[in-house]
Each structure stands twice: as structure tokens, then as C-alpha cells.
Amino acid sequence: MGFFSSIGTKIGDGFNSLGQKANRTVKKGVKAVSENAGKIADVAGTVKDVADTVASVSGAVGSGAAFLAGGAAAIGAEPIAAGLLGVAAAGKGVEGLAGGVSAVAGKVETVARTADTAAKTVKAGLSAKKHGEAGIDAMRRGDFAGAMTEGKSAIADAKTAEAGAKSVKKQIERKKKTK
């Protein structure tokens, strides 16, 4: 084997090894996200609710401070009016920031809910396949009652998978329309 051939083989083996490691890492990441998508969606929903509340309170504080600043200026208390205008500006700034956080958290929640539904759909589909195979095996053994039970389970799981697939499709279509 020549010098360049052995170098080419070593480089090729190295890239192949890196590709396999990347593939395993991606699979683990997808599994972790799919297993925890519901929890992620719940947390994002909570963050969105908190951010909405902060935005609402900050907006009210900003509006109230602006109103009071107008009153203070009308009675000749300009230094107090200036301080209240600063509070009003800060309140409105916090309101805008919290509104942005709410929007991002809402998008994370939507994506996580879609991922959660997709993961549950895949699990139902795999379960339907497993029950179908078990039903066929039961029929081969002559256990027709067991085959019927497995068949019913397979049908129920297939219906669950179908409903999940329709839900994911609707969520994706809804997302496409908003773009």
C-alpha cells in the first residue's frame, strides 16, 4: 500500500468515525427533546404567562406615572414630574421587553407542543405495529382470542396515531399560514 493510499484510508476512517459519533449524538438529542417536549411546553407556557403579567403591570405603572407626571407639572412641581416621567418611561420599556419575552415563549411553547404531539404519535404507531405483529404470532399459534385482543389494541393505537398525525398536520399548516 502506497503512502497516499494509507493516508487516504486513515483520513476516511477518521471522517467515518466522526460521522458515526455525530449520528449517535443527534439521535440522543432528538430522543431527549421528544421525551421532554411536554415539559418544555409547560415551562414555556408558564414563562409566557409570567411575562404577560409583567407586561400588564409595567404598562399600568407606566401609564399611572405618566398621568401623575401631568398632574405634578400642572401644579408646578416640575422636578417631581420629571421623576415620574422617568418612571413612566421605565415602565413602558419593561412592558415592551416583557412583551418580547412573551412572544418568544409563546413560539417555544407552540413548537414544543407540536414536538410532543409528534412524539406521542410515533409511540402510538410503534405500539400499533407491535400489537399487530403479536396478533399475527397469536394467530400462527392458533390463539384466536389472543389475536383478537392484540388486533383490537393495534386498531386503538392506530387510531391514536392517526389523530396525532392529523393534529401535527394542522399545527404545521397553521404555522405556515402565519408566515
DSSP of 42-58, one letter per residue? HHHHHHHHHHHHHHHHH
Q: How many C-beta neighbours within 10 Å does residue 14 have?
A: 10
User: What pLDDT, in 10s, does the model give residues 153-175?
Assistant: 888 888 888 888 888 888 778 77
Quick: pLDDT tens for 57-99.
888 888 888 878 888 887 778 887 888 788 788 888 888 888 8
Give the per-residue pLDDT at 56: 83
Q: How many CB atoms lie within 10 A of CB 147?
A: 18
**pTM attached to this predicted model:** 0.58
Q: Where are the alpha helices (DSSP H) in the chain?
A: 3-74, 78-141, 144-178
d(Cα 49, Cα 168) in Å, to the nearest integer?
24
Look at residues 165, 57, 150 and name the one whose alpha carbon lies nearest to residue 102: 57
Q: Cell triple for residue 116?
A: 410532543
Reported confidence tier of residue 18, pLDDT bands at 50, 70, 90 = low
